[in-house]
Chains A and B, each alone.
Chain A
Amino acid sequence: MGAPGKKYMLKFDPRTELLFLVLANVVAFTQHSLWVEITWVVLLLLLIIACGCTKAAGRLALAFGICLFLQYGIFPIGPKILASSFTILVSYARRAFPCLIVGTLIIQKTSVKELMVALRECHIPQGLIIPLSVTIRYFPALKEEAGYIRDAMKLRDIHGIQKIEYLLVPVMISATTTAEELSAAAVTRGVENPAHKTSMVEMKFGVQDFLCLAFGVVFCFISVTAG
């Protein structure tokens, strides 16, 4: 891409994204028609493409297509054992797609910092925001950790039930040390300060936020009443 980035990218307020997550959930739970679901997924995909997550949108679209194809193309004609063991997985995965799409947008385009500010703006107590953001940030670290431990187990040739113990114990120990180091860092930076926290991140609802939310609410309403 030689040309300088002249493409205009949408940027939403994190609060809009959180509200969209709720909307995605509502639609996922209330609608029963396949076409409403497909329209919703396509619209959300267009939305995140507009925000600049083209690659992720492509992957999600492909995965959604595979799910639909499996459920309506393969399962009815394929062997029964295949259908009975995977249908529930596939249909749960399908139901999670709207949330997955909005989630991808949040993860790729919003930093945890911005998310924390947004949650604080929504008057969620610090006591929930801190552990929640730690949990979300710890998942990737946990994955990395588990990878190293698995490599180490391969070297020592550990098998069977022992594997669980040999995986869980180091994970727990490293989790404890991480908790300790992280708290030391966070306390030094004043996480326990009861004063209202200020932030460099500016939160403002723009035209695009209102438009998209209005559209989302209308779609949600239609799908609940008509679907």
Chain B
Amino acid sequence: MSNSKNGKGLKGKDLITIGIFSAIYFVINFAFMLLGGIHPVLWMLMPGFIAVFAGIPFMLMAAKVQKPGAVFLMGLITALIYFVTGQFTLVILISMASACVLAEVIRSMAKYDSFKGNSTAYVIFSLGMTGSPLPIWLFKADFLAQITEQGMPADYVSAVEALSSNAMLVVLFVAPIIGGIIGAFIAKGLFKKHFVKAGIV
């Protein structure tokens, strides 16, 4: 294995690093979640937006903690905090869990230290957030009935209905892939420009 530095398991330092970068990831994630409340289009593009901006904390964490479990813990902590604030659904739980597991598999295949491997893992990790607007397509009728019942205005409901086309479903999944790639390259650029010079990676 490439991480011969200090063993395979997550140590105290790794856990603390994961905790801190998860906090930053969560803040970025939450900001776009709020933005998604303004219009359904923003909500559907949300996973993509998050992917563009959250690349830096993710890639920095990936560079710092080159061990299995780091990505999974980051996803788990995000999920737990969302659960506590009551904004979590079963669909997003499943999508995030499977994205995290897949990302872990890719990282372990890429031996944790390659940019390609980490950025692929990041793209997959970003796809996990698609579970948030996914119920629109999965249970279209139920979902529309539910948000009408919750007191959403007719305008909003019809906007959601109009947007729930197959084309938008493709956009929903393509956005985090493109966003994730952009995010990973932004992170790479910043690494080169700042973090390597500062000696932190």
B140, CB-defined interface residue at 8 Å: no
Contacting pair A127 B10 (CB below 8 A): yes
Please give, as numbers and ranges, the residues of chain B lying within 8 Å of A180 by CB-CB distance: 13
- Size class of the contact patch on chain A: 35 or more
- Size class of the contact patch on chain B: 35 or more
Contacting pair B19 A25 (CB below 8 A): no
A132, CB-defined interface residue at 8 Å: yes
Please give, as numbers and ranges, the residues of chain B lying within 8 Å of A165 by CB-CB distance: 190
A221, CB-defined interface residue at 8 Å: no
Inter-chain CB contacts under 8 Å: number = 147
Which of B34-42, B107-115, B164-172 participates in binding chain A?
B34-42
Please give, as numbers and ranges, the residues of chain B lying within 8 Å of A168 by CB-CB distance: 56, 190
The DSSP consensus for interface residues of chain A is helix
Given contacts A88-B156, A172-B57, contact A24 B86 (CB under 8 A): yes
Contacting pair A91 B73 (CB below 8 A): no
CA distance A134 to B12 in the complex (A): 11
From B160, which residue of chain A is reached at the shortest CB distance?
A: A88
B87 → chain A closest CB, angstroms: 7
A48 → chain B closest CB, angstroms: 16
CA distance A95 to B89 in the complex (A): 13
Please give, as numbers and ranges, the residues of chain A lying within 8 Å of B18 by CB-CB distance: 131, 134
Which of B91-99, B119-127, B146-154, B174-182 participates in binding chain A?
B146-154
From B200, which residue of chain A is reached at the shortest CB distance?
A: A176
B8 → chain A closest CB, angstroms: 13
CA distance A127 to B15 in the complex (A): 7
Binding site for B on A (CB under 8 A): 21, 24-25, 28-29, 32, 71-72, 75, 80, 83-85, 87-89, 91-92, 95-96, 98-100, 103, 127-128, 130-136, 138-139, 142, 164-165, 168-169, 171-173, 175-180, 182-183, 186-187, 191-192
A sample of 19 cross-chain residue pairs with beta-carbon separation below 8 angstroms, ordered by A number, consists of A24-B86, A80-B155, A83-B153, A83-B155, A87-B151, A95-B150, A128-B76, A131-B15, A134-B23, A138-B20, A138-B23, A164-B53, A172-B190, A173-B194, A176-B17, A179-B17, A183-B13, A191-B12, A192-B11
